[in-house]
Amino acid sequence: MRGRISASRADLPAGRDDRRMRYDSLLMLYLILPYALSLALIIHCIKTGRNWIWVWVMLFLPLLGALAYAAVEILPELFGSRTAQRAGRGLKQAMDPYGDLRRFEQEAAVTGNVASRQRYAEELVRHGRCAEAITQYRQTLSGLYEHDPNLMLGLARAQFGNGEASAARGTLEALMQHNPQFNSPERHLLYARALEQEGSLERALAEYRALAPAYPGAEAAVRYAQLLERQGERETASKVARELLERARIAPAHYRRAQRTWLDAASRLL
């Protein structure tokens, strides 16, 4: 009996050693895994021609960088859902906000076609480089595309963003002269804003008044109410804001989420 007890006690250190070895193995695996995953994804990044900024991110932040790369570059392609793609694009822009701008610039330089120049010009406007966008739009508005409504609208958008309200209004008037069937709420709203910026307030009010009920969003009604308030018509401004908020209460939740900024602005007019 004593012999068996002694033998069992003699086995204890060996059991502890086994557990320690398993612990050390798991710890080593835990330490190595992020680097192994990052290495595999770095190879994927290089082979598929992705942006090299990912390589540096995964080198300096092995685990977080690998997860971010997978979320932005791999998962949207695997799942293909709009939600996944939007999330991927959002994270991609946060990681490399000028990535699309560089890509569109290169495409415009290489191909020189209308579509690539238009994409580049739109991205320039998004980054606030409206003067450069105007140049791109003017280069596309020639030949068969001299009076293209979408290009003319883009030019007017860039002109307005560059502080050229009168030029934007003139472009929009030419757009409608050459494309009378072109029905665009954005064109209508931009025209009203250009008139307001020029100081043609009565004409701007008339444009806002006509547009606000049918505009697919809250911006037109809020801008109309804000201009009314600046003109001293507080009661009418409050009425417009109140009607907008009443319609929003029965609208779908996704509409209220998308229009939250403008609905908050309408609440401040009550």
Is residue 20 included in any domain, yes or no?
A: no
90 and 118 assigned to the same domain: no
Specify the higher pLDDT residue, 58 or 206.
206
Q: Name the pTM for this structure.
A: 0.68
Number of domains composing the chain: 3
Residue-wise pLDDT for 121-157, tens only, equals 999 999 999 999 999 999 999 999 999 999 999 999 9
Is residue 180 included in any domain, yes or no?
A: no
Is residue 4 included in any domain, yes or no?
A: no
Is residue 182 included in any domain, yes or no?
A: no
91 and 118 assigned to the same domain: no
Is residue 161 included in any domain, yes or no?
A: yes
Is residue 19 included in any domain, yes or no?
A: no
pLDDT at 26 over 80: no
112 and 164 assigned to the same domain: yes
Is residue 1 included in any domain, yes or no?
A: no
Task: Give the model's pLDDT for residue 78.
Answer: 65
Task: Give the model's pLDDT for residue 10.
Answer: 46
Provide the residue range defining the domain that includes 166.
Answer: 102-174
Give the Å distances, CA to CA, from 161 to 99, 125, 127, 186, 248. Answer: 22, 7, 11, 14, 29
Specify the higher pLDDT residue, 91 or 233.
233
CA dihedral 8, 14, 20, 26 (to 10 degrees): -100
Task: Give the model's pLDDT for residue 50.
Answer: 74
Task: Give the model's pLDDT for residue 249.
Answer: 92
CA torsion sign for 49, 51, 54, 56 is positive
